Structure 1
Amino acid sequence: MTLDGLPPHRGGAEELARLLARALLAGRWQPGAAFPRELDLCAHFDVSRNQVRNALASLTATGLIERTAGRGTVVREINDWHLLDPQMSEWMVGLTHPDPQLVREIFAFRYSAEPVVARLAAQAVETQDLERLESAFQGMTRTATDPEARSLHVEYDVAFHDAIYLASHNLVWRQMGHLLRPSIIALIQGSQAQVHQFQAGLEDSLDRHGQVLEAIRHRAPEAAESAAREVLRRTAIDLGIVTDSPLQSATASPADAEG
């Protein structure tokens, strides 16, 4: 199997594992496909067999590949990947074009989990949490229409979602937010090539993020959960992950919700 097009390798087994993992996460080799042989990897990257074996051991430990005597090495199904492994999270940092199936899986988890986290945040929010949310939202607003500030807009967008996880004041969710951060960054960055297709929807996106902020500010759990779900639903449509569909019932306003 060809290895053409992969970036040059400079470093040890850890760097080689990162290079190969990022290629897998980007969909270069699909689940069930044969993975390059040790000897081919040695020849292509001009490294020792011991270095290749150590790199492949890391990929095996994180569930990306499976090595079987007599069968060789194959790419495992995405369901078997250890996406919350800290090493996997590190490999995803800066990945601009993740595999589309991987993007959908990450989004599906966020769509089910993040509204619940927003509800918890509305119940547990403290002054410093609101300051983080407001700062991130203000940054998103300032950079939304400036093409030169696109990377900053991504950072503020991710910071906003970071702040929601932090505001839950739940140790497990805060740790989950930390582990998911590179995945969220990859998802947002992967959409940048399509920005021209949904630039007009940024105002709507900002409005939805603002509703989350206001619901949390007013300590309205139900409104926060509903608003967070709408943010993710809109983002999924903008990124082409799901097709457009009629809006669900309008998000309750903080003034109407229990708090």
Structure 2
Amino acid sequence: MGQAPSTTSSRATRPDIAEQLAEAIFGGVYAPGDFVPKELDLCETYGVSRSTVRSALQSLVAAGMIKRISGQGSRVQELAQWHLLDPRVSDWMARFAQPNPRIRQEIFAFRVAVEPFVARLAAEHATAADLNEIETAYLGMIKALESSDQCHQDVSHDDYDVAFHEAIFSATHNLLWSQISHVLKPAIALLVETSNHSADELQDSMERHRQLMEAIRLRRPEEAEQAALRVLERTGLDLGIDSIFATPLSHLRLPGALPPAS
């Protein structure tokens, strides 16, 4: 059973109890099946009223992260119950989930299933303005690598990387895919920020991003799909999550996609 999270980072006036409990849950202090501290213990720890604690716990209930059990307390739910696409939960995930390998794997598997199809749509529907957004993000990544702090115009390489993928989602000109890109932004950022790159790996990654950009610019949907897979293959290698690519890229098929014509 975990201990109550530290309040050293609490706000001076009113701590965000829900956020601090979320940090402890995402960080593994409280695993699924564990109970978080009882209401009275949280009141004493944070120096707040019981109504404030109940409000914080209710926000975690609404996020699917805990379940209130009468007479027992609040128990952490299984990961499958968490509302990971809720904006606040996805923000917590991006900031606090770094130690959780399962969450990284789940996000990565989702991206592998979705992003090649999105790249295909972008190659079919991208406008000149969309291509400019993609290229601007790509050039930002390149410029950032030329700086010792990996920043260009006060924007980090990782932020340009996230913007690159977000621009591809927007280039589909599908309302839902564009909205999903905003929801997924923290999740994509989580994988980008937790990838450890050497200089050689970054150059390889940039070349894969360039090929994806070019396939979209030249309106070659199949090439864009394969290029997106190659970008994700590099991400998987950097994260140590490469088993999903045991099958050659040319033989991978998206869930629900039609088999090749015989």
Residue 187 of structure 2, aligned match among 167, 173, 183: 183
Residue in 1 that maps onto 2:241: 241
How is 1:163-178 mapped onto 2 (pairs within 5 angstroms)? 163-178=167-182
Change (3 A) 1:145 1:3: farther
Aligned partners of 1:178, 1:67: CA distance in 2, in Å?
31
Residue in 2 that maps onto 1:137: 138
CA RMSD, 1 decimal: 2.3
One-letter code of the match for 1:217? R
Residue in 2 that maps onto 1:219: 219
Residue in 2 that maps onto 1:44: 45
Change (3 A) 1:41 1:60: same
Note the alpha carbon deviations across 1:134-156, whole angstroms, 9 max, x for none: 01111111223544126710011
Residue in 2 that maps onto 1:126: 127
How is 1:7-22 mapped onto 2 (pairs within 5 angstroms)? 7-10=8-11, 12=14, 15-22=16-23
Note the alpha carbon deviations across 1:176-226, whole angstroms, 9 max, x for none: 0000101111222233xx34xx43211111111111100100111111111
Aligned partners of 2:226, 2:208: CA distance in 1, in Å?
10
Residue 157 of structure 2, aligned match among 135, 153, 159: 153
Q: Do the aligned partners of 2:7 and 2:46 also contact (CA within 8 Å) in 1? A: no
Q: Do the aligned partners of 2:142 and 2:206 also contact (CA within 8 Å) in 1? A: yes
Q: Do the aligned partners of 1:39 and 1:49 also contact (CA within 8 Å) in 2? A: yes
Aligned partners of 1:229, 1:125: CA distance in 2, in Å?
19
Note the alpha carbon deviations across 1:158-180, whole angstroms, 9 max, x for none: 01001011001100110000001
Aligned partners of 1:161, 1:63: CA distance in 2, in Å?
28
Alpha-carbon shift at residue 20 of structure 1 (Å):
1.9
Q: Which runs of 5+ in 2 are unaligned?
A: 252-262
One-letter code of the match for 2:129? Q
Alpha-carbon shift at residue 9 of structure 1 (Å):
2.3
Note the alpha carbon deviations across 1:49-94, whole angstroms, 9 max, x for none: 1111100100000101111113322111111111111222343454
Q: How many residues align?
A: 246
Aligned partners of 1:43, 1:146: CA distance in 2, in Å?
48
One-letter code of the match for 1:227? A
SS of 1:66's equivalent in the other structure is: strand
SS of 2:28's equivalent in the other structure is: coil
Aligned partners of 2:50, 2:242: CA distance in 1, in Å?
43
Residue in 2 that maps onto 1:229: 229
Aligned partners of 2:146, 2:38: CA distance in 1, in Å?
48
Alpha-carbon shift at residue 245 of structure 1 (Å):
4.8
Alpha-carbon shift at residue 231 of structure 1 (Å):
0.6
Identity of aligned residues (%): 44
Q: Do the aligned partners of 1:96 and 1:189 also contact (CA within 8 Å) in 2? A: no
TM-score, normalized by length of structure 1? 0.86
SS of 1:148's equivalent in the other structure is: coil
Q: Do the aligned partners of 1:25 and 1:102 also contact (CA within 8 Å) in 2? A: no
Out of 182-191 and 102-111, give the one that drifted further. 182-191
One-letter code of the match for 1:181? K
Residue in 2 that maps onto 1:209: 209
One-letter code of the match for 1:37? K
Q: Do the aligned partners of 2:126 and 2:172 also contact (CA within 8 Å) in 1? A: yes
Alpha-carbon shift at residue 42 of structure 1 (Å):
1.4
How is 1:76-87 mapped onto 2 (pairs within 5 angstroms)? 76-87=77-88
